[in-house]
A and B are shown apart, each in its own frame.
Chain A
């Protein structure tokens, strides 16, 4: 089985987000960037499938500028065999990302695609679902458990009501929740080794697809600030305040 993992480079989840003063977007210069957290779970799952002998080749793909090589190197340090960077200067919308991935998938012919359930920058939560529809492959979203046996795929999905268990088959597109596994840290020797693993670069303009934006960002602003609250001295005061000041109990 061949597994393809999609990886996005995003502002690290610990960074305090700053809106640009001209309201054109969020500051991404000189801030720490990392692998989108649930994409790490996708990488980890692919590496586990290889360790279990279920996958024989695991590859990662990222779409972005040259700097996205970092996240691909990180994925290879975690155990991915080789990577593909689709070079694009522009930020793509989920539909364009899915179309780009489809072209790579048509060429690489993986049996399984793993990706994060959402990117923590634009929080769209769309790309895996779109890709599944474009490929006409089964879709499994927000998974927290995966078992593959004789081409059968058993997944548990996190839904608002609890857990949904589905059975499907390969090839499939699965999007991962953070609870799927615990991503490993890349060890120093593995980081060194990853530098020598193959990283192919493809220019997005050579793919012949429309990746133009369909949505225009008019402005990006800071969220309204909550007004400062107070500290209460004890439980009695808290309950009194809730009852007679805030009037919510």
Chain B
């Protein structure tokens, strides 16, 4: 049967989490349909139809879908459900906000944050902040699942030529109005899929000191992340938080600076390929999972690292 992937996007571009979710869908079916709910999305539809794995792009284009209020978008998904064996969305705040409503509307249990697909009905998901891994099986009429983007490769964006189908907007009475979105603008790579992430914790002491991390990140073309303590203390915005209640990242290189390594933080980064920890406390638990540990004062170490990187660059050029 066919699989439906609900696209995460900003009305202009697909978020890369959508591409990871399409790769997950490939493990379930060859007939993958991509559903895009949004406003003024003709261009987005055009660019999406070239994704090789996608057989059909389904578009619902309406001004009321501009801000992706889940009360409006979920009935449209539920209405399509009978055609599909599985409906997938990324397990981002977008997917988490939306898909459980479909679960209510279809009366099926959703499986959250899937990191592996064993078969059509058997899935792997972390529980207890990733301290245990659960294999679950279900035989419901339809499988609703959110997919952890970092557990699946991004699919190819080119090479395909999917059919595009427009479906009508179904209006629902909604009492919620969108007011505003506070989004930080940055030229750095997106935290969720950066090759290198440099994260700061309470050890940074204040937001001014975070500039040190930004400098290091820029040298490495890295995204910046943070611990919950750093966000709670106002050093940096919530969109940078890595961990059980923040974002999941799995870069090739993760550098944890002034972060102690609480399990809730590890939950978000321990799948990284190489982990570096810089902490002045030799007993900090972050050293237990680090590939390379440096026990040092970060205010001394970071400027030195930047200097070393500059030296390396000079040698190479």
- Listed in ascending order, the chain A residues whose CB lies under 8 Å from chain B are 11, 13, 16-17, 19, 26, 38, 93-95, 98, 117-118, 120-134, 138-142, 144, 154, 157-169, 177-179, 214-223, 226, 229-232, 234-236, 238-239, 241-243, 246, 248-249
Contacts and interface: CB of A to CB of B under 8 A. Distances in A.
Q: Do most interface residues of chain A lie in helix, strand or loop, or is the interface mixed?
A: mixed
A163 B180 CA distance: 8
A215 B109 contact: yes
A121 to B, nearest CB: 6
A235 B179 contact: no
Interface of B: 70-71, 74, 92-94, 96-101, 103-105, 107-113, 122, 126-138, 140, 174-184, 192, 196, 220, 228, 231-232, 237-239, 244-245, 247, 252-253, 263-264, 270, 273-276, 287, 289-296, 301, 304-305, 308-309, 312
The interface centre, meaning the residue of A11, A131, A214 with most chain B CB atoms within 10 A of its CB, is A214
Contacts of B228: 178
A163 B182 contact: yes
Q: Do most interface residues of chain B lie in helix, strand or loop, or is the interface mixed?
A: mixed
B122 A238 contact: no
Nearest to B303: A235
Contact of A168 (B113, B175, B308): B175
B93 A177 contact: no
The interface centre, meaning the residue of A165, A178, A238 with most chain B CB atoms within 10 A of its CB, is A238
A169 B113 CA distance: 30
Given A121-B128, A122-B127, A231-B293, A165 B180 contact: yes
Given A95-B110, A121-B127, 14 more contacts: A120-B128, A125-B113, A129-B99, A161-B181, A161-B239, A168-B177, A220-B134, A230-B292, A231-B293, A235-B308, A236-B308, A239-B308, A246-B291, A248-B252
11 contacts: A17-B132, A95-B104, A125-B100, A142-B96, A164-B181, A165-B178, A177-B238, A214-B108, A215-B136, A223-B130, A229-B293
